[in-house]
Structure 1
Amino acid sequence: MSTSDATTPQRGRPTVLDRAAITTATFRLWAERGYAAVGWKDIAEATGISVRTLVRHFARKSDIAWVGVPAATRRLRGALDEMPADVPAADAVRRAIVASISDDPMSPAGPDWIRVVCSEPEISGTAPAAYRPWITELAGFLERRVAGISPTAATALASGYQAATFAALVGWSESGSHEHAADAADEALGWLSLSPTGSDRETAES
């Protein structure tokens, strides 16, 4: 995850929040005390940001868990936009998803993040809404690159890719593997195909 400005404990209201720093501090508290035991006051004390400011920027405590998803979506979009037109759609999607994965342990690919998300129903229950922009981005690419695919099918496939990627990351986290999270996702996604009949139906975007 990347940020533009750092926020340090200070008096008064900060004009820009360092959302990544807030996430890191909050995940540290969740890991030490458990999600349910950490309230807004605890997060405020750990970050130096008032409860009022925190709740103005995060409607729910669980929203803090998804701070890294917009950045991952931007990386996905950039990788898809730069993908050569002659790359088969399935390969293009796999490469772009792999490129969107960060090694930051508090990002939506790190083992600490995965453990908390998987163990807390309040967080996992908000996943569909959090990942909707990512899925929409990928679905748009599939509509442009796969011949004959409907918007409904493109969205379904994009949702499937998101689920498959997350499952691969969960398996990677639980295995204790020393390989990068992106490598685990790359290996898993390599088994997926976009051809419903086994023939090449894709068309490159002109």
Structure 2
Amino acid sequence: MSPQLGRRPSTTRAVISEVAIDLFTRRGFDETSVDDVAEAAGIARRTLFRYYPSKNAIPWGDFDVHLEAMRTHLDALGDDLPVAVALQTALVEFNRVDADHLDSHRRRMRLLLEVPALQAHSMLMYTGWRDVIADFVARRTGASRDDHLPQTAGWLMLGVALAAYEQWLTDPAADLAALLTDGSRILDRGLRAL
């Protein structure tokens, strides 16, 4: 009987992403091909593209699932909670990482924030993240997601997240949740008026 081609039962987006991050970290992003990732994951190149549309998308893993979880978290918060506090809780919750995944997450974020080839794709991914924030602010303020205020809130919260990650990558002893909380408190005064 000949072996079957295609997806192995254990193949998931997360497994492919972890395998790729390991390769990208050891060999370099530009030096690692899609074929290298597919081979290391034990799948065909064609199968890999069923999970990810491009090599640049692979380090992002299940980002859309996380975005939906953040949207659900924000939607579940009561309207009596101030906007700034709601955004702070969502920011910390979205970026919560179990202790046993911290090293893996640090490698992922180092790639996403420091590899020039990933910068343009990252901006596209940040659009979806900012939209979740803008949708929430729009709902709470009666504005449209595309209005200036919700868009500004999305960009501000993205700035807080990126600044926290830069500090976290620089200092391995830093607490990511504390950095995110401290950064969002800086915005509290401006967002409190919402």
Letter in 2 for 1:96: A
Letter in 2 for 1:72: H
Number of aligned residue pairs: give it.
Answer: 187
Identical amino acids, percent of aligned pairs: 22
Letter in 1 for 2:55: K
Structure holding more helix per residue: 2
Corresponding position of 2:173: 177
1:84 aligns with 2:78: yes
1:168 aligns with 2:161: no
Aligned 1:36-185 pairs, distance under 5 A? 36-103=30-97, 104-105=101-102, 110-146=105-141, 151-179=147-175, 181-185=176-180
Q: CA deviation at 1:158?
A: 0.5
Q: CA 1:33 to 1:18, structure 2 compared with 1: closer, same or farther past 3 Å?
A: same
Deviations 1:170-205 (A, max 9, x none): 2112111253x2232112111113647xxx543xxx
> TM-score, normalised on structure 1?
0.80
Please tell me the root mean square deviation across aligned C-alpha atoms, in Å.
2.4
Structure 1 unaligned residues grouped into runs of 5+: 1-9
Corresponding position of 2:21: 27
Letter in 1 for 2:109: I
Deviations 1:100-149 (A, max 9, x none): 11314477xx2111211222111111112112222111101101223678
Letter in 2 for 1:51: R
Do 1:135 and 1:155's aligned partners in 2 also have CA atoms closer than 8 Å? yes
Structure 2 unaligned residues grouped into runs of 5+: none
Do 1:72 and 1:101's aligned partners in 2 also have CA atoms closer than 8 Å? no
Q: CA 1:65 to 1:172, structure 2 compared with 1: closer, same or farther past 3 Å?
A: same
Deviations 1:22-54 (A, max 9, x none): 010100011111111111121111101101221
Partners of 1:170 and 1:183 lie apart in 2 by: 13
